[in-house]
Amino acid sequence: MTELVLGAMMFGTTIDEETSFALLDRFVERGGEWIDTADCYAFWASADGRGGDSERVLGRWLAARPGVRERVKLATKLGAEPIEPGSWPDRREGLAPDAVRAAFAGSLDRLGVDRVDMLWLHQEDRSVPIEATVDALSGLATARVGVSNFPAWLTERGRAHARAGGGKAFDAFQLNATYLRPRPGTLPPGVAHRFGVLSDEQVDYASVHGMELWAYTPLLSGAYDNPGKEIPQVYSHSGNEARLAALDAVAAETGATRGQVVLAWLAGRGIRPMLGGSKLHQLDAALDGVALKLSEDQVERLDAPDGHEWASPYAQP
């Protein structure tokens, strides 16, 4: 079964430590494994304009829970931390070899660990040859390496260099994805990268090369089910009207919420949904959602408005 990823973005800033610990404890209690953070989380909400609060909270939680490190998998990201407070996006640490090594050492120190299970390159850096970045990754204590907000062509270039030199090849994408599709040429709220929204090309590339897909903001920050939140305007078009109708029908049949059906739909394609909720009931609902099994007929009706379905990243071409 595809597992939910617990996103720790706001831990230590808008989500206090007590609540963060409660969410982490419940996640592990219910069998969750992957926890995702970044060295830059959450600089825009921190007191000093710098990231690191999320990793420090996770480090204190790991220290307070002997044995839990072997039950969870840690993922962190580097490359997007502002060099000075207020300098993002014009001045960020980027992916130069020295910056990569320094950022990773800082993450390990804040997390209080000697290794991570996944290291993400947070966003592309055209000022640095991807080959130089890939070479810098080779000596780092991470089981896997993935890319977030990267185009498929640059991902392939980095993977080819890693394969040729015996380095760590990227084996996962982390991108924005949900059931609704944004209008072409637009970016949903919270997506600041032109290659940040999962495209059919990235799905196809992942499928052919056996890469995992991780989906951030799959629930539109609660807009599917919270009447106080509107679905963003970038999703306002006739195709999504049909998709919402199909989503409502399947939700009624299953007794699940819209959001739970969305999570089940993504999980059914081998895509790992990521939850950044701040309340225990949100976490429980999301875990129930990824466990929901949709029928073949329900999946076909959910896919019908597009005329085709996204391929599973594990499907054979």
Of the chain, the percentage scoring pLDDT greater than 90 comes to 91
List, as one string, the DSSP characters of 286-317. Answer: HHHHHHPPPPHHHHHHHHGGGTS-PPPTTS--
Report yes or no: 84 and 111 within 8 Å, Cβ to Cβ.
no
Q: What's the pTM value of the predicted model, to 2 decimals?
A: 0.94
Q: How confident is the model at residue 305 (pLDDT cuts 50, 70, 90)?
A: confident
Residue 314's pLDDT is what? 38
pLDDT in tens, 221-277: 999 999 999 999 999 999 999 999 999 999 999 999 999 999 999 999 999 999 998
Q: How far apart are CA 190 and CA 196, in angstroms?
A: 10
Least trusted range by pLDDT, from 36-50, 114-128, 257-271, 301-315: 301-315
Superfamily of domain 5-306: NADP-dependent oxidoreductase domain (3.20.20.100)
Q: Specify the amino acid at residue 127.
A: S
Of the chain, the percentage scoring pLDDT greater than 70 comes to 96
Q: Is the pLDDT of residue 307 over 60?
A: no
Q: How confident is the model at residue 2 (pLDDT cuts 50, 70, 90)?
A: low
Q: What are the residue boundaries of the structural domains of the chain, listed by start?
A: 5-306
Q: How confident is the model at residue 306 (pLDDT cuts 50, 70, 90)?
A: low
Report yes or no: 278 and 10 within 8 Å, Cβ to Cβ.
yes
The candidate with the shortest Cα–Cα distance to 6, out of 47, 58, 48, 45, is: 58
pLDDT in tens, 148-202: 999 999 999 999 999 999 999 999 999 999 999 999 889 999 898 999 999 999 9
Mean pLDDT, the chain, integer: 94
Q: How far apart are CA 226 and CA 229, in angstroms?
A: 6
- Reading the block at residue 179, the tokens are 């059931």
